[in-house]
Structure 1
Amino acid sequence: MATGDAIGEANLEAVVSTPFAGRPPGDACAHGRGGEWLRPGHTLIYGHRGSGMNCRPADRPGQLQLGENTALSMAQAVRDGAAAVEFDVQLTRDLVPVIYHDWIVAETGFETPVNALAQAQFMALNPRARPLRTRRSCADLVDPPAPPIWANSTETVQAPFATLRELFDGLPAGVGFDIEVKYPMPDEADSVGMSTSFEINLFVDRILDIVYGSAPRPVVFTSFHPDICLLLAHKVRGDYPVMLLTDAGMSAMADRRCNGIDVAVSLCKWAGLAGVVTHVGPIVQSPRVAALVRRRGLALATYGGLNNAPEHIRLQQAYGVDVVIADNVRGAVATVRRAQGVAPAASA
């Protein structure tokens, strides 16, 4: 018998996707607007944030690490044999897509969100924007002061920050791009004190303006934010593949769609996404996890520190992983080539 009493409460969120006006008319390309981004039956190596993240490489003592997400790092990854380079894209306050991983630019000495800076302010934080102090003699170097805190951290070779446009214009058209679109979840924004980010369609469209306005090249879009993936898939309509990033439940996320490979696979199949990019841990622990993704006809890529160990790369080759995103690009490429019976390329 109906009484009209409330028996519960439900909160619904709706995301409205608007078409991307800059997409040229015509049918979608079967293998991506820019060309082939996978090689079926082969494991490809993508450079993580170029040729590695900002961290002194413990497995390569004495080797310098190039600043992550810089044109210098991207170019080195290509020379080392990467099939594509992975990097992070955010928007500045004046809607310019720039290449940066963290939500705030703390490594520069400023606790400021990227989206609170105008492009000119963001670019001015790079070390090349500041003149070096002229010294009169070698005696001045006896007791030099501590180095200032500049991007891209004190453990890496410093290089200028870059915009998405600069990467498209500066790297050869044959270089593939794995573009991770960084749009914060509400809990992520709260944790670093960010204000609400841009309207989600505007955010995605400003990135697509650069992609469609540049010369075609192999491009794959990825994001940890499921709604970003859904919008991208709707807007590009098959011109470029879109893959959902997941940490495979390694840490709990407020959005339940982000808390496991099985959930990610279901979402990708429902939304028509190209595949899953997952933390490598569960993949190397059990071949059945990789098989779960492959049975559903999805591409599989992995990221994480274990991808710098040759034995883990060989395991993933055996499991049919399509893409390994690695910091030690040269070592990972050499491992893959040896497993395929191909001699490693000579060092540049």
Structure 2
Amino acid sequence: MALRTVLVSDVPCLPDSVYGLAEGLDLSKPKSFRMPGFSVIGHRGNGMNVLQSSDRRTRGFKENSILSFNSAAKFPIDFIEFDVQVTKDEIPIIFHDDFIYCEENGSVSESRVTDLSLSEFLLYGPQREAEKTGKTLMRKSKEGKVLKWEVDLDDSLCTLQEAFERVEQSLGFNIELKFDDHTVYERESLVHVLRTVLQVVFDYGKDRPVIFSSFQPDAAQLIRELQSIYPVFFLTDAGNHIYNDERRNSLEEAINVCLEGKLQGIVSEVRGVFKNPSAISKIKESNLSLLTYGKLNNVGEAVYMQYVMGIEGVIVDFVEEIVESVNLMMIRPSSPPSLSPLPSSPSKDDGAITRPEFSQKEIDFLLKLLSQLIQH
């Protein structure tokens, strides 16, 4: 079996009915639910941008843009994932990085995204009015180089409200709540930001499927505490990078965060799952869902292995290729995306996927093959 990259991520107070700290809301236990079959989720829409990559697919559409979201919606996927922060004038906007860069008069300037007002934020990059010219948008690479943010099909920056209003209604949203890894947040500050985001979701979400997720464990638990309508997942690097906050450093700690905060699931870096496959059964025994993200999710065989192992969905960059791979290798349900309660005794006619049965020896063999990819 060859391993290859497949070619075939002060507003008004919320009403008591949705404000989880209000009396009368039962948070005694998390509500179980299942993903709509094996879910393919578009990372930042139709894929994240990697400016220094030789693979043109990483620069096809501006990530985290309406154009990228609707491009991903053309494929039979269930959700898109994107990053939400809040501006200093309390508007939830969609942008991944903590800092934004631009070039003016030959010099590069840097601003923290959350220190900008909405009007200042929208001045970066392409402008909605054809006669206007925005600031030249730059981006810092992991190596520290500041590069011009060039893509084949560009688009203006956008707000969370615009995403709800302008993106194909049937497409679910996986809203990652972004916070700076190097900042210590007080509870009051987190609650204020989360209320601001929730207000937009409740005002404009309608019947769209929505999942919240965050690497910030306190934020993940608080968004669950503040509402009980939408599922909340805890994001973890699963030990691939070590943080000062121990809760972020393993799948075991992620399970504890979820159980303590009554969250509904985990989104793990995929290598963490392949290195620790026994955690999958622990996660399922804890009545939690499991999704993954990471570069290996752009490899069809790695995605198929997760399908076999019982993982419920993958966040991917190469949406078209992985969707094609999924359709070739797996049986997908015909029902539209929904987040429905998990039945106590699933029916054979409920549209669920029937996974192939592998012996433990066969699974161990496949995991050894995948370990070759993990080394790179």
TM-score (norm 2): 0.72
Aligned to 1:50: 45
Equivalent-residue separation in structure 2 for 1:173 and 1:218 (angstroms): 9
Q: CA deviation at 1:173?
A: 2.5
Superposed, 1:106-117 pairs within 5 Å as 106=101, 109-117=108-116
Three-state SS of the structure 2 residue aligned to 1:54 is: coil
Superposed, 1:1-348 pairs within 5 Å as 21-22=14-15, 24=17, 38-39=35-36, 42-55=37-50, 60-61=55-56, 64-106=59-101, 109-128=108-127, 149=137, 153-185=149-181, 188-189=182-183, 199-214=189-204, 215-237=206-228, 239-341=229-331
Structure 2 unaligned runs (5+)? 1-11, 19-23, 140-147, 333-376
Q: RMSD in angstroms over aligned alpha carbons?
A: 3.2
Contact 1:20 1:235 (8 Å CA) reproduced = no
TM-score (norm 1): 0.77
Contact 1:284 1:315 (8 Å CA) reproduced = no
Equivalent-residue separation in structure 2 for 1:48 and 1:54 (angstroms): 10
CA deviations 1:103-156 (Å, max 9, x no partner) are 00026643100011110010011222586799xxxxxxxxxxxx9555881245
Equivalent-residue separation in structure 1 for 2:17 and 2:66 (angstroms): 28
Residue 179 of structure 2 aligns to which amino acid in structure 1?
Answer: Y
| Structure 1 residues 197 and 54, CA gap change in structure 2 (3 angstroms) | farther
Name the % identity.
29
| Structure 1 residues 340 and 131, CA gap change in structure 2 (3 angstroms) | closer
| Structure 1 residues 46 and 62, CA gap change in structure 2 (3 angstroms) | closer
Contact 1:248 1:260 (8 Å CA) reproduced = yes
Equivalent-residue separation in structure 1 for 2:57 and 2:322 (angstroms): 18
CA deviations 1:69-123 (Å, max 9, x no partner) are 0000011111122211100000111011000000000266431000111100100
Equivalent-residue separation in structure 1 for 2:57 and 2:293 (angstroms): 24
Structure 1 unaligned runs (5+)? 1-18, 135-146, 343-348
Equivalent-residue separation in structure 2 for 1:305 and 1:241 (angstroms): 25
Query: Once structures 1 and 2 are overlaid, which stretch shifts more, 218-227 or 108-117?
Result: 108-117
Q: CA deviation at 1:259?
A: 1.0
Residue 22 of structure 1 aligns to which amino acid in structure 2?
Answer: P
| Structure 1 residues 341 and 267, CA gap change in structure 2 (3 angstroms) | closer
Q: CA deviation at 1:37?
A: 6.8
Three-state SS of the structure 1 residue aligned to 2:110 is: coil
Equivalent-residue separation in structure 1 for 2:98 and 2:220 (angstroms): 19
Aligned to 1:13: none
| Structure 1 residues 170 and 149, CA gap change in structure 2 (3 angstroms) | closer
Equivalent-residue separation in structure 2 for 1:197 and 1:65 (angstroms): 39
- The total of aligned residue pairs comes to 299
Q: Which has the higher strand share?
A: 2
Three-state SS of the structure 2 residue aligned to 1:200 is: helix
User: Segments of 4+ in structure 1 off by > 6 A?
Assistant: 25-29, 195-198
CA deviations 1:25-57 (Å, max 9, x no partner) are 68789xx99xx8712xx3210000001111159
Contact 2:233 2:265 (8 Å CA) reproduced = yes
| Structure 1 residues 286 and 234, CA gap change in structure 2 (3 angstroms) | closer
